[in-house]
Amino acid sequence: MDLNLLRQFVAVAQAPNFSTAAQALGVRRSSVSRGIGALERALGVQLFSRTTRQVALTTAGRALYAKAAPQLAALDEALGALPERTELPSGELRLTASTDVGATVLPPLRAGFALRYPAVQVDARLTNRVLDVVSEGIDVALRTSAGRLSSSSLVARRLSAAEVQIFAAPDYLARAGAPRTPADTADHEWVAFGRRRIPGFPAPKSPPRVRGDDMLFIRQAVRAGLGLGVLPTFAAREDVDAGRLVRVLPRVSIGGGALYLVYPPSRHVPGKVKAFRDFAVEYFARNPLA
């Protein structure tokens, strides 16, 4: 059943004639007349008794109006109250990010977004597992990548360049000495992230004292003086400023990547997603990670 036919029926039932109903709906009288005729044929009953000047509901018409009018009003109210259709973005924004991005990058971003859009509630899921955005009902994801993101059906917006560098605790450097060249790092203790090798650097002469797959764990181990470690500069910035970490071989490029905002494709991107996307682009233009 075409709901527009029911809306035309309700409009005619509430008006003295077809012309007045057509004006209320913003359509031609002939369109309303054809619509009522189509509805009557579909239902197999006559809904109105017609004269040249007015229309009146039949018994079947009164029964339909009693049921349809309040249901349509409730449906229209529900559609009009959808968060994405209101003037200002509102509702719950489900977001995911890795633990290091969630602990260092996300808090000021989320705080600024909350001040600008107080009607949007951010529900953040911080995990190093790459969640399936569509199947798990995620609105947006913040993801870092050393290169271009792998091809997918998702929409990806590059927010900022990101870089990684070697860091160490001051007490470790006081004990072991600071390397002056990449070749010198082979003699040092290391805190390793996974089993990745640093391009252009020799393999350490001894196995890493600590190995892990969580960047915040690696940062804690490096800060504790257990050896050299590779960290994103955004994850080490606060410790560097506080003197808890020192950048090692600052003139040597280690590599980097970028931070992306990822969200499901849609012909009608929800207002809360548009608002967060645009705010994030604006935020990282002022506060780049690298």
The reply to whether 61 and 128 lie within a common domain is no
The CATH number assigned to the domain holding 72 equals 1.10.10.10
Q: Which is nearest to 159 in space by CA: 224, 87, 234, 229?
A: 234
26 pLDDT more than 80: no
65 vs 85, which has greater pLDDT?
A: 65
Residues forming beta bridges with residue 260, ordered by sequence position: 143, 158
- Give the DSSP H or E segment for 80: helix 59-80
The reply to whether 49 and 75 lie within a common domain is yes
The CATH number assigned to the domain holding 146 equals 3.40.190.290
Pairing of strands 246-248, 155-168: antiparallel
Residue 57 φ then ψ, to 5°: -70, 140
CA 84 and chain centroid, separation: 14
In a domain, 86, yes or no: no
Length of the chain: 290
* Cα torsion angle, 109, 134, 123, 257, sign: negative
The reply to whether 61 and 108 lie within a common domain is no
The reply to whether 104 and 43 lie within a common domain is no
CA distance 48 to 258: 65
Residue pair 88/80 in contact (Cβ under 8 Å)? The answer is no
Could you read off the pLDDT of 221-265 as tens digits, one per residue? 999 999 999 999 999 999 999 999 999 999 888 888 899 999 988
Could you read off the pLDDT of 174-196 as tens digits, one per residue? 999 999 999 999 999 999 988 87
CA distance 31 to 189: 81
Q: Determine the structural domain holding residue 71 and report its residue range.
A: 3-81
152 vs 14, which has greater pLDDT?
A: 14
